[in-house]
């Protein structure tokens, strides 16, 4: 994993903790990123250990993310915040804070979040149609 990929996963862990717990669907998303980024056994163990205790955005070095990394992080944070079926008030506040820390303008952030959520709905609908 690159340092940026590790920071994206660390950030997603902080988002998962926003409502005070990491639910099974959120764990699944994090595991998916570990696979996507081809984490070694050592890296996976390190990040799972990192995830055991509550994390906040203060635990993440945002200055190491490039523009693409910022967009990847925000879009997946939006998906992760709704992975358990709802975006809680604390998760929404954390997303708002994430936008500030990533230094994204409001219009760009809304576009990224809406695109991520629309894509997830479209994929979900296709999966349901394929099951018919």
* pLDDT tens-digit readout, 64-81: 888 888 888 898 888 877
* Residue in 61, 66, 68, 75 with CA at minimum distance from that of residue 29: 75
C-alpha dihedral (107, 113, 119, 120), degrees to nearest 10: -160
The whole-chain average pLDDT of the chain stands at: 82
13, 85 Cβ separation under 8 angstroms: no
Look at 19-33, 78-92, 113-127 and tell me which has the smallest mean pLDDT. Answer: 113-127
The fold for domain 3-131 equals TerB-like (1.10.3680)
* Residue whose structure tokens are 């523009």: 67
| DSSP calls for 55-67 | --GGGS-GGG--H
pTM of the shown model: 0.73
Residue 75 in tokens: 């879009």
């Amino acid at each position: 994993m690159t340092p940026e990929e590790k920071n994206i996963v660390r950030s997603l862990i902080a988002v998962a903790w926003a409502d005070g717990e990491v639910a099974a669907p959120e764990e699944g998303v994090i595991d998916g990123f570990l696979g996507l980024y081809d984490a070694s056994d050592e890296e996976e163990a390190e990040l799972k250990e990192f995830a055991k205790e509550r994390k906040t955005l203060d635990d993440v070095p945002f200055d190491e993310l490039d523009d693409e990394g910022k967009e990847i992080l925000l879009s997946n944070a939006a998906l992760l915040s709704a992975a358990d079926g709802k975006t809680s008030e604390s998760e929404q506040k954390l997303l708002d804070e994430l936008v500030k820390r990533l230094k994204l303008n409001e219009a760009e952030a809304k576009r990224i979040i809406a695109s991520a959520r629309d894509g997830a709905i479209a994929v979900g609908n296709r999966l349901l149609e394929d099951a018919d």
